[in-house]
Chains A and B, each alone.
Chain A
Amino acid sequence: MIDHSVYALFFYVSAMAFALLYGGFRQKTLFILTVISAGAGFVIQTVMEARAWFHTEIPPAANLHELFQLTAWAVLALYFILYPMTRSRILVFFLMPLVNLAYMAGMMVPNQPLEPKPFYFTPWFAIHIFLLVFGIGFFFVSFLYAAIFIMQDHSLRHRHAPSHLPIPSLEEAERWSARLLLAGYPIYTLGMFSSIIYGVLFGNKEHYRPGLLEGASVLAWLVLGVASYGWLTAKVHPRRRSWLVVAGAAFSVLIILGIIWH
C-alpha cells in the first residue's frame, strides 16, 4: 500500500525547489509556485493527519514519526497565517528547507504502532500536543528570523556589501523574531502546564520518570524565557537575544527527539 505522506512530500520538495529558485531569481511567479506547491502539500497532510486521528482516536503526535511531521505542518500553517502580516516572501527560502527537513526526518523514522495509554484518549492529550507543537512552531519561525538577524548583523559588522538575498532588515528581523517568540512562549507554557495539570490530577506519581523530553522542555522554556525577558525589558542586546532564540530552538528539537524515550 502506498504511503500517502509521499504525495505531501512531493509537493513540499517542489515548494522547496521553487523557494530556493526564488531566492536566486526573485521572480514573483516562483514565489506563487512555492505557495501553491506548499499549499497543496499542506492540504494533503492535513487530510492525512485528520484521517489518522479519526481512525486511531489518538492525536497524530504520539511517536517521533508523527511528531516531526506535525511540527512541519505547524510551521507551515504559521507561515500561511502570518504572511498577511509579515508580507515576507523571502522567508520561504529559509522556511521550506526547514519544513522539508522536519517532514523527511519524520518519514525516516518508522511509524510504529502505539501501545495505547489511557491518557492518549483524553482531551488533555490533544490540548497538550497542539499547544506544544504550535508553541514549537512559533519558536522555529522565530528562530528563522533570529538567524536572519544574525546573518545581517554579521555581514554589517564585517562591512560586507548587502546580501544578494533580499532578506529583511535587522530591525524587521528582530521585530518578527520577538513577536513570534512572545506569541509562542505563552502557548508553549500552556502546553507544558496542561500536561503537568493532568499528571497532578489524574496521573500516577510513582511512575513519573522525567527524561530527555521533560529536561529539554524545561531547558527550552528557561532559555526562551530569558530571551523573552530580554525583549520585553530591552536589557539584552538584540544579537544576544537572537542567539538565545537559536539555542531555544535547538532545545525544541531535543523535545521532539525526547519522545523516543517517553
Chain B
Amino acid sequence: MSDLILVGVNHKKTPVELREGLAFADPEKVPFLDGLRQSGHVKGAVLLSTCNRVELYADLREGSTAEDLIGSLMESRGFPRERRDLFYIQEQKDAVRHLFRVASGLDSMILGEPQIFGQVKEAYFQARDGGVVTTPLNLLFQKAFHVAKQVRTQTGIGERPVTISYAAFNLASSIFADLSTKRILLLGAGEMSRIVATHFVESGVKQVRVANRTYEHGVEFARYFGAEVVPWADFPKALIQSDIVISSTGAPRPILLRPMVETVMKLRRWASLFIIDIAVPRDVEETVGKIDGVYLYDIDDLQEVADEGLAERQKKATLAESMIASELDLYTRFLDHQSLSEVIGGLMGWAGRVQDAELEEALKRMGDLTPKQQEVVKNTVRRVVHKILHHPITQVKRLVLEEETANALQVFRDLFPVEPAQEGKAPPEDP
C-alpha cells in the first residue's frame, strides 16, 4: 500500500463554529492541494469539505508526516492552533476503511444519507481535474465508489426515511407515481412547513400555492418557493386542485373538517389527496383520514415513520459494516498482490540483465561454439538463475499473501536489488 494518510475533523468531535472555519469553497480546493504538493508534503491528495466534515486524503511523500498536513490545513484557514486536538489521523488500512464508511454514509450525521456519496465523488473529480490525484489515490477512490454502491444497493440502507420531512416526501412517493405533475398547497407559513415543503419543491412539483391568514406574511413566505398566493377565504377551492396539502397554521381548532373534505373529494372524483398536518394543535379533524382517497398524517405519524426508518437503518448498518470489512480485506489483498508483482518483476528484470551481460561476456571468451552449444550454455545459465530466485520468491509470496507478514515485502526489497517498475511495462514472469 502506498503511504496513504487521512487527516480531518467531523461533526462527531468538532462543533459547527469550528468546522465552518475549516471549510473550503470549491474554487479553493485545487489551489490548496496543488500548494500542498508543491511544498513537497504529498504526491497527490483529495480534499473532502462538506457541512459535517473536512478531510484530506493524501498520498504522503517520504519524510512528511500527518502533522505537516494538519499544519498546512490550519494555516491555510487561520484555524486556532490550540485546537489541533480536534483533528483525527488515520493511516493505511484505517484510512481506507474510513473512506469506505464515509462514502457509504455510515459515518454521516444522518445514518445512511445518500448525499455524502455525491460529495465524495465531487471531491475526487475536482482533485483529478486539478491533476493532483496519484494512481494509488485513483484506485482507492474508485474502490470506495464501488463499495458505497454495493452497500447502498445490497443493504438498501438509504431507502427508509429518518427525518420528518423526508418521511413525508417518501410517503408521497408511495401515493403518486410522478410528483412533477402534482400540486402542493401550503396552509400557514410556519418554519416546519417550509422545511417539509422544500423536499417537494426540490423534486420539481408542478405548482406550489400558499394560503395564510395574514396575506402579506403569505406573500413573503411564497417568495421563498416562487409560489402563488391564495387568499385565505379561497383555500377550500384550492384544495380541489391540490394533491398534497401541508398544513401548519397556528389555529386553535381544526380548519379542515370532514364535511368540507368529503365535498372536495367528490369534486376531485376521488383522486388521492395526501394531507400532512404538522400543526400542534392539529389543523385537520382526525376523521378526515377515514375518507376514501385521503391519506392523513400528523406530526406524530411522521415521527413514527422516521423512527422506524432509523431503526431499520441501524439494522442495515451492521450488515454494511461487515460488507465493508470484507471489501477492505479484498482491497488490501489486491494492493499486496500489486506490490508483490511489482517487486518480483523488478527483481526478475535485474536478474535478467545481469544474466544477459554475463552470458555475452562468457560466450565471447569461449570462442567458436556451435549455435547448439551456445543455446545449451544460455539455457543452463537461465535455469541456474531461475532456480536460485525460485525459493526467495516463493517465500516472499507466502509471507505476503498467506501469512500477511507486515514488512515482508520491504525486507525483500532491502535484500535484493529490485528495480523500480517502468510505467506501462508488464513485469516478467515468475521463475
Contact = CB atoms under 8 A, between A and B. Distances in A.
Interface of A: 25-27, 152, 155-157, 159-163, 168-172, 175, 234-240
Given A171-B177, A234-B270, A239-B292, A159 B297 contact: yes
A170 to B, nearest CB: 5
Contact of B272 (A27, A159, A170, A235): A170
Contacts of A27: 153-154
Contacts of B312: 161
19 contacts: A26-B153, A27-B153, A156-B171, A156-B174, A156-B175, A157-B295, A159-B304, A161-B161, A161-B167, A161-B308, A161-B309, A162-B173, A169-B176, A169-B177, A171-B177, A171-B272, A172-B177, A237-B270, A239-B292
Given A159-B301, A161-B308, A169 B154 contact: no
Contacts of B154: 25, 27
Nearest to A169: B177
Contacts of A155: 174
B352 interface: no
Interface of B: 153-154, 156, 160-161, 167, 170-171, 173-178, 269-270, 272, 289, 292-293, 295, 297, 301, 304-305, 308-309, 312
A171 B295 contact: no
B170 A162 contact: yes
A234 B174 contact: no
B171 A162 contact: yes
Contacts of B292: 237, 239-240
A152 B175 CA distance: 8
A163 B161 CA distance: 12
B305 A161 contact: yes
Contact of A170 (B167, B175, B301, B309): B175
Residue in A27, A159, A161 whose Cβ sees the most chain B Cβ within 10 Å? A161
A241 to B, nearest CB: 9
A162 B177 contact: no
Contacts of B177: 168-169, 171-172, 175
A26 B292 CA distance: 32
A26 B176 contact: no
Contact of A162 (B160, B178, B293): B160
List the 5 closest pairs (A to B, CB-CB), nearest first: A234-B269, A172-B177, A237-B292, A171-B177, A161-B308
A67 to B, nearest CB: 35
Nearest to B309: A161
Nearest to A234: B269
Contacts of A160: 305
A159 B167 CA distance: 11
A237 B295 contact: no
Nearest to A235: B269
A26 B305 CA distance: 22
A27 B272 CA distance: 31
B301 A237 contact: no
B293 A237 contact: yes
A171 B309 contact: no
A26 to B, nearest CB: 7
Contacts of A156: 171, 174-175, 295
